[in-house]
A and B are shown apart, each in its own frame.
Chain A
């Protein structure tokens, strides 16, 4: 009798363990028969089944939360790693970055002693001053790197802008490993750079690291990076603007620059002041809405329309042009907008087919916001924009 009671308890447990599978219809025929047989003579078990079914039903009816925003990546995100195992890569990246930083330090100390000649010999990209778009400031940028690389080993998104640039110069000489460097940069990114900046171009929020540029005489300060950077320059080119202290230099775009980035070289930072602001395909309410922005979001303003009523902002969501348009009165710009080029309605844009490529796009998208005002004092030609 004791034995029988045990058997019943065992059977009860056996059945209860299988109720979940029974609901899903995944029991074997034998088990199903056992369960159904037991259920037929046992109201408690039936109640357990019903309540379980009801629970599953409730779960299935749980309403989906509204998507708070789009999670698309900015077009400036760098290419995926070549291999699996991101731990390995990030570790390797740190190693390579450390090596790179060391080499930069070494080169910089070497360069400072003999004078300027050595630099032109070593720097692979420092060509004739006639090509101001290719500018390498190897030595001056060496200092910030070891500092900025170490502090936070958190897994941050690949939105870093400047660190990439500063790390890269030694690559041709020492470690030609472009795939590993991004991993290092992602480690090195300041944690306060919010990942949420996906709807705009993320680097807006990351201020370029201070470049302690000293040997300005080596490389003539470039008042304007030519928008027609050759693709051939891309491999050799790397580096930051040698920003002469006097004039806040425009961020030098030296990689094979997709149109978006050359445009944004002179972008002005803006802040949305409307609660909800529609982003449209072109300058006017007749154009379709391609996205939305919220109050206090930052944008890169890269142009305006003829009557200044609409502003063109970097908007990677727009896969055709990479540009979105917002009503000018809903945006506060941090610098005068009259230096921005007047852009035409999107029809005139040729689709930038080459825009989202593997090209590392970590060059600074724009000068730091406080400097833009100063930068605006040097008027720049606007033809390059409309020519795009």
Chain B
């Protein structure tokens, strides 16, 4: 059964068919939610909510990219999760936001490794997650959908309910922000990047903070 048939069956109330769609997309949905929310439990909740909402509203899907349609629901669900979280902040979220400048535990060893080894270390994923959380929601979602999930501009535009131009500009700002954020964690990036580009500004910022 192809996707179109599955969707049609789901629209007629066939849960089994819908679950096939769930299996096909749950990884990408969870991954997106995980990066955007920065928390596994919240991502689980958002993923489940998204699929429940998708099933409830499957009849409002009228063709086009199902993936983009689904991601739009995911985007909204994640946003709801985030707002709920803000109302009742958890310890883990506070920990994420308090002091992004402090190196993660065990980061000292990282200096001896090559940049490529760095890239595969979990510390890097940690800092990426940290950096993502400092982005405004729209930029964060756009960046995750584009560079982590690999969606096309058009799909992101549908998913975030905007146009391609806005997607591009959000992406541009988000990337620059992430670059600057990661540059602040100097150990993570190759030497060549440290003293160049926007480092002057970030260095000053650090000096003031210290």
Are B59 and A21 in contact, with the CB atoms below 8 A?
Answer: no
CA distance A48 to B189 in the complex (A): 13
Q: Does A61 contact B (CB under 8 A)?
A: yes
Residues in B40-87 with C-beta less than 8 Å from chain A:
40, 43-45, 47-49, 51-53, 55-60, 80
Residues in A189-229 with C-beta less than 8 Å from chain B:
195-196, 198
Q: Does A80 contact B (CB under 8 A)?
A: yes
Question: How does the 8 Å CB contact mask read for A153-189 relative to B, with 1 for contact and 0 for none?
Answer: 0010110000000000000000000000000001000
Inter-chain contacts of B52 with A (CB < 8 A): 73, 77, 157-158, 195
**Nearest neighbor of A159 in chain B, beta-carbon distance:** B52
Are A85 and B60 in contact, with the CB atoms below 8 A?
Answer: yes
Are A44 and B14 in contact, with the CB atoms below 8 A?
Answer: no
Shortest CB-to-CB span from B190 to chain A, Å, is 7
Shortest CB-to-CB span from A336 to chain B, Å, is 32
Are A195 and B172 in contact, with the CB atoms below 8 A?
Answer: no
Task: Pick the interface stretch among A64-72, A117-125, A373-381.
Answer: A64-72
A23, A55, A60 — most chain B CB neighbours (10 Å): A55
Q: Does A50 contact B (CB under 8 A)?
A: yes
Q: Does A358 contact B (CB under 8 A)?
A: yes
- Of the residues A18, A52, A60, A196, contact of B150 by C-beta under 8 Å: A60
Inter-chain contacts of A296 with B (CB < 8 A): none
Shortest CB-to-CB span from B71 to chain A, Å, is 15
CA distance A55 to B189 in the complex (A): 9
Are B193 and A54 in contact, with the CB atoms below 8 A?
Answer: yes
- Of the residues B15, B171, B190, contact of A54 by C-beta under 8 Å: B190
- Of the residues B19, B26, B56, B168, contact of A21 by C-beta under 8 Å: B168
Inter-chain contacts of B141 with A (CB < 8 A): none
CA distance A196 to B44 in the complex (A): 8
Interface size on B, residues (CB 8 A): 62
Inter-chain contacts of B168 with A (CB < 8 A): 20-21, 26
Q: Is the interface of A mostly helix, strand, loop or mixed?
A: loop
- Of the residues B26, B57, B197, B198, contact of A84 by C-beta under 8 Å: B57
Question: How does the 8 Å CB contact mask read for B92-126 relative to A, with 1 for contact and 0 for none?
Answer: 00000000000000000000000000011000110
Q: Does A34 contact B (CB under 8 A)?
A: no
Are B57 and A73 in contact, with the CB atoms below 8 A?
Answer: no
Q: A54-B193, A80-B57 are in contact. Are A20 and B176 (CB under 8 A)?
A: yes
Residues in B125-159 with C-beta less than 8 Å from chain A:
125, 128, 143, 147-148, 150, 153
Shortest CB-to-CB span from B28 to chain A, Å, is 9
Q: Does B162 contact A (CB under 8 A)?
A: no
Are B59 and A83 in contact, with the CB atoms below 8 A?
Answer: yes
Are B59 and A17 in contact, with the CB atoms below 8 A?
Answer: no
Q: Does A306 contact B (CB under 8 A)?
A: no
- Of the residues B27, B47, B59, B175, contact of A82 by C-beta under 8 Å: B59
Q: A54-B189, A55-B178, A80-B13 are in contact. Are A86 and B128 (CB under 8 A)?
A: no
Inter-chain contacts of B55 with A (CB < 8 A): 73, 77, 80
Are A358 and B34 in contact, with the CB atoms below 8 A?
Answer: no
Are A60 and B148 in contact, with the CB atoms below 8 A?
Answer: yes
Q: Is the interface of B mostly helix, strand, loop or mixed?
A: helix
Shortest CB-to-CB span from B69 to chain A, Å, is 11
Are B172 and A20 in contact, with the CB atoms below 8 A?
Answer: yes
Are B56 and A55 in contact, with the CB atoms below 8 A?
Answer: no
Are B27 and A64 in contact, with the CB atoms below 8 A?
Answer: yes
Are B10 and A47 in contact, with the CB atoms below 8 A?
Answer: no
Are B51 and A71 in contact, with the CB atoms below 8 A?
Answer: yes
Interface size on A, residues (CB 8 A): 58
Inter-chain contacts of A59 with B (CB < 8 A): 128, 143, 147-148, 178
Q: Does A63 contact B (CB under 8 A)?
A: yes
Are B14 and A357 in contact, with the CB atoms below 8 A?
Answer: yes
Are B13 and A79 in contact, with the CB atoms below 8 A?
Answer: yes
Are B193 and A84 in contact, with the CB atoms below 8 A?
Answer: no
- Of the residues A26, A48, A62, A86, contact of B35 by C-beta under 8 Å: A62
B45, B55, B147, B176 — most chain A CB neighbours (10 Å): B147
Inter-chain contacts of A60 with B (CB < 8 A): 147-148, 150
Shortest CB-to-CB span from A40 to chain B, Å, is 16
Are B22 and A71 in contact, with the CB atoms below 8 A?
Answer: yes
- Of the residues A18, A157, A316, contact of B48 by C-beta under 8 Å: A157
CA distance A319 to B17 in the complex (A): 10
Q: Does B16 contact A (CB under 8 A)?
A: yes
Known: A74-B15, A319-B16. 18 other contacts (CB 8 A): A20-B172, A48-B196, A48-B197, A51-B193, A55-B182, A58-B128, A58-B182, A59-B128, A72-B19, A73-B51, A75-B15, A77-B55, A81-B57, A84-B59, A85-B60, A86-B53, A356-B15, A358-B13
Closest 4 CB pairs of A and B: A84-B60, A358-B13, A47-B196, A20-B172
24 contacts between A and B (CB under 8 A): A17-B172, A20-B168, A21-B168, A47-B193, A54-B179, A55-B175, A55-B178, A55-B179, A60-B148, A60-B150, A61-B119, A65-B31, A65-B43, A68-B30, A71-B22, A73-B19, A73-B51, A77-B55, A80-B10, A84-B59, A157-B49, A157-B52, A195-B45, A195-B49
* Residues of B in contact with A (beta carbons under 8 Å apart): 10-19, 22-23, 26-27, 29-31, 34-35, 40, 43-45, 47-49, 51-53, 55-60, 80, 119-120, 124-125, 128, 143, 147-148, 150, 153, 168, 171-172, 175-176, 178-179, 182-183, 189-190, 192-193, 196-198
